[in-house]
């Protein structure tokens, strides 16, 4: 992030939350589950699927982890009751991964079992590199128990991801492929934009050729076009993948992907922990951060 962009985000962080909140709503559905349900229904009107996330991560107590698990169970019930074409996205640190891995596993297993009963699906999000191995181990353990309605994420920015994909394809699973939003040491991560793109495409083609279902999670038009070419060249069936994007990010590109005949799923976060999430989006998208400042100080 450039010096100017860093300054802009720094200014935003010093503003009262009440001032930032209207702009943060671009990225979140709201604070309540009802807000998320409404947002997913709106997406459905455009033939877009959803994945719902209860904001929050890196909890400090087992009680907070239990509260998170209960909140996700409520989301599953709501998806079923409202007949939504939506699934769940969860972060393991929100389920107590850094407190007690056994407790975390038990909670996630119960959630996946409930999702299975509803014929739904749970996506385990990937966090920073300190949790990568534990996340993949937990996922493999769930699959070894015969739980198939669960998927994981691979970040193209990590150097280890090619080896991780080789392990994942043994079970022909459901993998979301993204660039990766975390700033990691160069010793374990690619830093250049082009080398990350090249690794993304390499991993995508490997997942396609082994029959994994792939969530192509990107807002990068270069990668979207690359995915189009790979899909055509490899004759990948339309039901074997979907594109995925974040709520409020690049709606024009989202529309173009839909008009090209590809399936689309949008990540819909909600909850009281909206501030930290929105600040991360501002850091990732400085153009929006500049827009927020202009809007705040405009006389119009």
What residues act catalytically? 125, 176
DSSP 165-210: HHHHGGGT-EEEEE---S---TTTB--SHHHHHHHHHHHHHHHHHT
Strand, helix or coil for residue 235: coil
- Cα gap 157→200, rounded to integer Å: 8
C-beta of residue 131 within 8 angstroms of C-beta of residue 159: no
C-beta of residue 276 within 8 angstroms of C-beta of residue 250: no
Cα 81 to the center of its chain, rounded Å:
24
- Cα gap 12→175, rounded to integer Å: 35
- Cα gap 285→279, rounded to integer Å: 10
- Beta-strand (E) ranges in the chain? 49-54, 86-90, 122-124, 150-155, 174-178, 213-217, 241-246, 264-270
């Amino acid at each position: 992030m450039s010096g100017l962009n860093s300054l802009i985000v720094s200014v935003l962080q010093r503003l009262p939350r009440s001032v930032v909140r209207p702009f943060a709503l671009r990225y979140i559905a709201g604070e309540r589950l009802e807000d998320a349900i409404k947002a997913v229904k709106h997406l459905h009107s455009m033939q877009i699927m959803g994945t719902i996330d209860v904001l929050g991560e890196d909890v400090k107590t087992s009680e907070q982890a239990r509260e998170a698990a209960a909140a996700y169970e409520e989301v599953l019930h709501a998806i079923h009751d409202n007949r939504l074409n939506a699934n769940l996205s969860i972060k393991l640190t929100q389920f107590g991964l850094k407190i007690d891995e056994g407790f975390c596993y038990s909670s996630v297993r119960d959630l996946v079992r409930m999702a299975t009963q509803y014929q739904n699906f749970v996506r385990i999000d990937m966090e920073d590199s300190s949790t990568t191995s534990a996340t993949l181990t937990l996922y493999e353990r769930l699959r070894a128990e015969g739980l198939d309605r669960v998927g994981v994420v691979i970040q193209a920015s990590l150097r280890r991801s090619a080896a991780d994909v080789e392990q994942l394809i043994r079970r022909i699973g459901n993998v979301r492929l993204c660039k990766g939003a975390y700033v990691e040491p160069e010793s374990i991560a690619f830093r250049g934009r082009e080398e990350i793109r090249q690794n993304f495409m390499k991993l995508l083609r490997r997942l396609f050729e082994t029959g994994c279902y792939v969530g192509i999670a990107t807002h990068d038009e270069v990668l979207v076009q690359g995915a189009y070419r790979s899909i055509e060249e490899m004759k990948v069936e339309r039901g074997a993948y979907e594109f995925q994007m974040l709520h409020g990010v690049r709606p024009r590109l989202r529309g173009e992907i839909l008009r090209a005949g590809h399936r689309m799923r949008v990540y819909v976060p909600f909850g009281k922990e909206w501030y930290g999430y929105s600040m991360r989006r501002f850091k990732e998208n400085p153009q929006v951060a500049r827009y927020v400042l202009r809007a705040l100080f405009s006389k119009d």
